[in-house]
Amino acid sequence: MKLQDLLYGVTILELVGKTDVNVNALNFDSRKVDKNDVFFAVVGTQADGHEYITQTINQGATVIICETVPENKVENVTYIKVQNTGVALGVMASNFFDNPSAKLKLVGITGTNGKTTIATILFKLFKALGYKTGLLSTVENFINDVVVSATHTTPNPIALNSLLHDMVLAGCDYCFIEVSSHAVVQHRIEGLTFAGAVFSNLSHDHLDFHKTFDEYLKAKKAFFDGLPKSAFALTNIDDKTGMVMLQNTKAYKKTYALKQLADFKAKIIENQFSGLHLDIDNEDVFFKLVGSFNAYNLLAVYGTAMLLAQDKLRVLTELSMLTGAEGRFDYVISPNNIIGIVDYAHTPDAVQNVLSTIQNIRKGTEQVITIIGCGGDRDKTKRPIMAQVACDWSDKVILTSDNPRTENPQTILTEMEVGVSPTNQRKTLSILNRREAIKTACHLAQSGDIILIAGKGHEKYQEINGIRTHFDDKEILFEQFNLQR
Ligand X SMILES: CC(=O)N[C@H]1[C@@H](OP(=O)(O)OP(=O)(O)OC[C@H]2O[C@@H](n3ccc(=O)[nH]c3=O)[C@H](O)[C@@H]2O)O[C@H](CO)[C@@H](O)[C@@H]1O[C@H](C)C(=O)N[C@@H](C)C(=O)N[C@H](CCC(=O)O)C(=O)O
Ligand Y SMILES: Nc1ncnc2c1ncn2[C@@H]1O[C@H](COP(=O)(O)OP(=O)(O)OP(=O)(O)O)[C@@H](O)[C@H]1O
Ligand Z SMILES: N[C@H](CCC[C@H](N)C(=O)O)C(=O)O
* Residues within window 317-356 making contact with ligand Y, judged by CB under 6 A: 328, 343-345, 350, 353-354
User: How many CB atoms are closer than 10 A to CB 336?
Assistant: 12
Phi (first) and psi of residue 407, to 5 degrees: -90, 160
Question: How far is the C-alpha of 94 from the C-alpha of 189, rounded, in Å?
Answer: 10
Residue 187 CB, nearest approach to ligand Z (Å): 19
Q: Judged by CB under 5 A, does residue 116 bind Mg ion?
A: yes
Residues of the binding site for ATP: 111-117
Residues of the binding site: 30, 111-117, 153-154, 180, 186, 188, 378, 402-405, 455, 459
Residue 47 contact, options ligand X, ligand Y, Mg ion, none, Cβ 5-8 Å cut-off depending on partner type: ligand X
Stretch that binds ligand Z, among 24-32, 42-50, 241-249, 452-460 (CB under 6 A): 452-460
DSSP at 218: H
Stretch that binds Mg ion, among 175-183, 190-198, 216-224, 270-278 (CB under 5 A): 175-183
Number of residues forming the site for ligand X (CB under 6 A): 19
Residue 297 CB, nearest approach to ligand Y (Å): 5
Strand 63-66's sheet: what is its strand order?
14-16, 78-81, 63-66, 38-40, 26-27
Q: What would the x/- binding string for ligand Y be over residues 362 to 391, using CB under 6 A? A: ------------------------------
* Residue closer to ligand Y (CB basis): 114 or 376: 114
Q: Judged by CB under 6 A, does residue 153 bind ligand X?
A: yes
Is the Cβ–Cβ distance between 85 and 66 less than 8 Å? yes
Stretch that binds ligand Z, among 79-87, 166-174, 409-417, 453-461 (CB under 6 A): 453-461
Number of H helices, E strands in the chain: 15, 24
Residue 168 CB, nearest approach to ligand Z (Å): 27
Candidate list 100, 108, 327, 455; residue touching ligand Z; CB under 6 A: 455
Of 2, 4, 9, 47, residue with least CA distance to 157? 9
Q: What would the x/- binding string for ligand Z be over residues 328 to 367, using CB under 6 A? A: ------------------x---------------------
* Residues within window 171-210 making contact with ligand X, judged by CB under 6 A: 180, 182-183, 209
Question: How far is the C-alpha of 92 from the C-alpha of 71, rounded, in Å?
Answer: 25
DSSP at 74: P
* Residue closer to ligand Z (CB basis): 254 or 458: 458
Of 394, 385, 391, 443, residue with least CA distance to 416? 385
- The DSSP code sequence of 322-385 is ----TTSSEEEE-TT--EEEEE---SHHHHHHHHHHHHHHS-SSS-EEEEE---TTS-TTHHHH
